[in-house]
Chains A and B, each alone.
Chain A
């Protein structure tokens, strides 16, 4: 295939809609006769609702209906019906199911009114009486309840840790070099800029059109159909634009359930938008406590890896992520013991948040390695090269490709690492201590079956569609590039459509697997289309009868047979001669399972960080980050660079800024707003350099794509923490690192 667009820095095709404000998000469809919902949330974490007083609220002019557990219409009985594509083992939360409160902030009532303001006002008049039970929300205080996670469907993509190898405890005791410690990070919330919202258009009895904020329109469709007993074909879900998600859109949130419930019950159009406080009342990155004990021989070769982790989950689902598996995937060691447990708390179920597990688990790994390197008196890069592997020891499989060494080399060079004085506190600028640190990142390259359809019309336009999502990820753009190249057409004539459950099936979009999965589907659909074009040519043009697909170049909008005696035919002619003046093909893009299974497939990164730490105040400024990424084929270096930059900003945020602070006396998050839940502002972000290292991988998929949504974040927090150690001599293991940790 000729690659005219793949690999080129092309501006986002959805850019004009976004910069002019014409891109519409879920809460922006102002359909007629719209009713507005507003949710009331619980103020206790565990217990029962004894009474909800609705009298005042009901009297407000414009209030149409108020729902609570006492009057809500019945929905599906079986827990199974509430399980979405990303549901962990357990029983999914059902809003207003009964009078039980299982977490603070749980939705317990909803006002539906003729205006947003009336609904909001009436909701403020509702008072609730509870019978509160003791609530446990502090992970560290509940370690005694830690246990093995339950297994379920989700375990397929998130395997439990491998069995222990050798005798890690003994090897650790015997090792001349030892490092490790206890690492804790609290809860983080996704906080995409767009709050969760659903606009339900009631089209007919039991027939809905739903604009939802989701990372999977089919996931929403399936959930609504299963929960409310509707036919799939009568539920159409649209999400053409999603204002950020970072994993929060992988599961249906409660505004979907409540707005659909009200629309069906009241037989009208309903919109429900969550406010910013309510963005803290569902999934989150779980608080996690980790301990590492690593041992190395006198030369610095790892002899023992022990990594144990306890993460928080809810009382009703066992949310898991891969936290402890990473160490032995990138560092070989004869003795390994990895443990992962969950402690159920009176909180909402955690959920996937950008680089789930990877960002969590690689932090202790990369800090512990840095400590060992320091003890061994070795440069951190050299130490990693000494303990380098081309094989994933947790599975015994080789990597399909791994250009991590090249990442180290290119990033170190760009950063100027060679000039580093290994001594902590050896550099300063005025009052600022300067430190240089580095770390490695890894994220598995995954692929899931996805369908796409390619439609060629007689006007020379190609439309390719799949029910996948673009929440800033660049899917619109890169899929159009793949299709244009596959069909040998100008990008101007190619449109990719997504975010509509009526389109060919795509699973939820996450885990960095969308480009590989949907890209493969787009290629499959284009291949199908080529076959149909040839078939059409053969039926209309005798000289094509003996021409095989392999003997044709599909370029410049034409079939160009290699045999120059056969005349080229324009796609437009073939489409014009077809029914409805178009030719279409719908195909599934399958992972190459037979090829893939023999390998571990992963993207890698090397991150180098420079920090300045004020010697009196402990204020940290990340002055420079260089990230070199080996992630297979980069479809569009412009949008890909942005993805990585975003990951780096998330890394800075995770290292130094964000944390949802809970008052454990009441099990309630206290900084549930964007003024006090600190994500970086513009002035926090300085020089960021991204390098894409060339990496050819024929195993992951035909296009060689590994995915880049998560890898940009993994490794950034430990690189910053290691730089802070180098600046100050102080090893801070908990996140986020605050100025008072360094005073």
Chain B
């Protein structure tokens, strides 16, 4: 861990001002990922700006349109167990509780969850090349041990996956990220928040240096009747996903009127394919349609040496999870 100074900010504006003057500073909230990265000498900020003392950012409040605003500093656990989240957005609650451990969820914040970095083995080992960690050094995972790596949307420069569970549900629920910076505030639709690696894999998302996530908005209609979150991994709990899936339907008169299917553990961002969701609309929910949707979602998937199985695994998981979403209580 490198040498750094510490300051606690009182307001988002103050935090933004401090960081705007120092390109090597970093915000810290829950710390569960950043401190880990600092111990690995991957993140080396020379100054930490503690956001935890900023009042008001840890609240979960109803929006006038019956949506819900999740404060960026609200802890993952407090979000998952919040009565309004449980009632209106149970898919989000399930996704959060499928991630990490109870201890980590008690510390980790909602804003931080969006900003967590990949668990690619090579990103984490500074003795190996990694374009995300050190642009231009190469991607050791591409021909290396890549069981946990991407099958969709990757590039020759980076095959890392984004490890969050929570964000898979947020993607499916069409959330919006509220951001505050030195130049003001803006809103980023969730599906535009994270990036694909392309030739700039060092950029995980479209947040600018100095911008702070203040909250995440969930639109009304949490799809709380027909939903399911499925996570497949190498142990029963406390492991990152090989494939995870957030599925939600709105059904009317025996037909699917709205379908959301987002995948985690397969790409550099939560993966949604509009074509597949449109395909399911106005159809009766049936295994055959789900199988076709799965094929559409995995279109263009490329398996690497150690993770090709994830393509078929993802297809099967999509079908199963669609069926489960029809009867979420079972």
Contact = CB atoms under 8 A, between A and B. Distances in A.
Task: Indicate the member of B124, B143, B319 with the most A CB atoms within 10 Å.
Answer: B124
Given A665-B144, A670-B125, A121 B235 contact: no
Contact of B2 (A124, A621, A657, A682): A124
B235 A431 contact: no
B320 interface: yes
Given A678-B234, A684-B235, A124 B41 contact: yes
A120 B40 CA distance: 11
Contact of B121 (A120, A431, A616, A676): A676
A299 to B, nearest CB: 41
Interface residues of A, number: 32
Contacts of A654: none
A546 B195 CA distance: 94
A617 B119 contact: no
B121 A617 contact: no
B239 A675 contact: yes
Contacts of B316: 616-617, 743
Contact of B232 (A121, A621, A673, A739): A739
Contact of B313 (A673, A684, A740): A740
B21 interface: no
A157 interface: no
Contacts of B122: 670
A418 B235 CA distance: 31
Contacts of B144: 663, 665, 670
B128 interface: yes
A734 to B, nearest CB: 14
Task: Indicate the member of B41, B125, B232, B309 with the most A CB atoms within 10 Å.
Answer: B125
B94 to A, nearest CB: 15
A475 B76 CA distance: 43
- Would you call the interface of chain A mostly helix, strand, loop, or mixed? loop
Contacts of B312: 743
Contacts, number: 80
A726 interface: no
Contacts of A657: 234-235
A655 B1 CA distance: 36
A43 B313 contact: no
B140 A663 contact: yes
A666 interface: yes
A621 B236 CA distance: 9
Contacts of B313: 617, 739-740, 743
A684 B145 contact: no
Contacts of A617: 232, 313, 316-317, 320
Interface string B103-144: 000000000000000010110110110000000000010011
Given A665-B144, A670-B144, A680-B235, 5 more contacts: A124-B1, A617-B232, A617-B317, A681-B236, A743-B316
26 contacts: A120-B1, A124-B1, A124-B2, A617-B313, A619-B232, A621-B236, A661-B147, A663-B128, A663-B140, A663-B145, A665-B143, A665-B144, A666-B128, A668-B128, A670-B121, A670-B144, A673-B124, A675-B119, A675-B238, A676-B121, A678-B234, A678-B239, A684-B236, A743-B309, A743-B313, A743-B316
Interface of B: 1-3, 41, 119, 121-122, 124-125, 127-128, 140, 143-145, 147-148, 232, 234-240, 242, 309, 312-313, 316-317, 319-320
